[in-house]
Chain A
Amino acid sequence: MTDTQRRMKSGSRLERVLRSGRFAVTAELNPPDSADPGAVYDAALVLAEVADAINATDASGANVHMSSVAICALLTRAGYEPVLQIACRDRNRIAIQGDLLGAAAMGVRNVLCLTGDDVTAGDQPQAKRAFDFDSIQLLRTARIMRDKGMFLSGRRLDVRPKLFLGAASNPFVQPYDWRPKRLAKKIEAGADFIQTQYCFDVPRFQKFMQQVRDMGLHKRVYILVGVGPLRSDRAAEFIRTKVPGVEIPDEIVERLRKTPTEKKQEEGKRICIEIIQQVREIEGVAGVHVMAYRQEELVADIIEEARLLPRRKRQDVPRKTEGEQEMLEQRASTARTEQ
Chain B
Amino acid sequence: MSVRNWIHNRPHALEIVYQFTEWVFYRLDPLFARIGYDRTDRLIRPAEELGKKLTFDCRMCGQCILHSTGMTCPMTCPKNLRNGPCGGVRSNGHCEVKPEMKCVWGEAYERSLDMSVYGHEMTMLQPPVNRRLEGTSAWVNMLTGVDKEVPEGWVSVEELSATA
Residues of A whose CB lies within 8 Å of any CB of B are 9, 88-89, 93, 115-118, 120-121, 129, 131-137, 140-141, 143-144, 147-148, 150-155, 168-170, 173-175, 177-178, 181-182, 184-185, 188-190, 197, 244-245, 247
Contacts and interface: CB of A to CB of B under 8 A. Distances in A.
Given A153-B152, A188-B125, A245 B88 contact: yes
B87 A169 contact: yes
Nearest to A243: B88
A182 B82 CA distance: 12
Nearest to A146: B164
B103 interface: yes
A188 B96 CA distance: 26
Given A115-B86, A170-B87, A131 B128 contact: no
Q: Is the interface of B mostly helix, strand, loop or mixed?
A: loop
B134 interface: no
A147 to B, nearest CB: 5
Contacts of A135: 83, 86
B91 interface: yes
B154 interface: yes
Interface in B113-164: 122-123, 125-129, 131, 151-155, 157, 159-160, 163-164
B153 A136 contact: no
A116 to B, nearest CB: 8
A188 B93 CA distance: 26
Given A136-B125, A154-B152, A175-B106, 7 more contacts: A115-B86, A132-B128, A135-B83, A173-B87, A178-B84, A182-B83, A245-B86
A175 B96 contact: no
A143 B83 contact: no
Nearest to B89: A173
A219 B75 CA distance: 33
A134 B110 contact: no
B89 A115 contact: no
Given A174-B103, A174-B106, A181-B123, A115 B128 contact: no
B97 interface: yes
B81 interface: yes
23 contacts: A88-B79, A89-B79, A115-B81, A115-B86, A132-B131, A135-B83, A136-B126, A140-B125, A141-B128, A143-B160, A148-B153, A148-B163, A152-B128, A153-B152, A153-B153, A154-B153, A169-B87, A173-B88, A178-B85, A178-B105, A181-B84, A181-B122, A188-B157
Given A133-B128, A148-B155, A182 B85 contact: yes
Contact of B164 (A137, A147, A173): A147
A150 B153 CA distance: 7
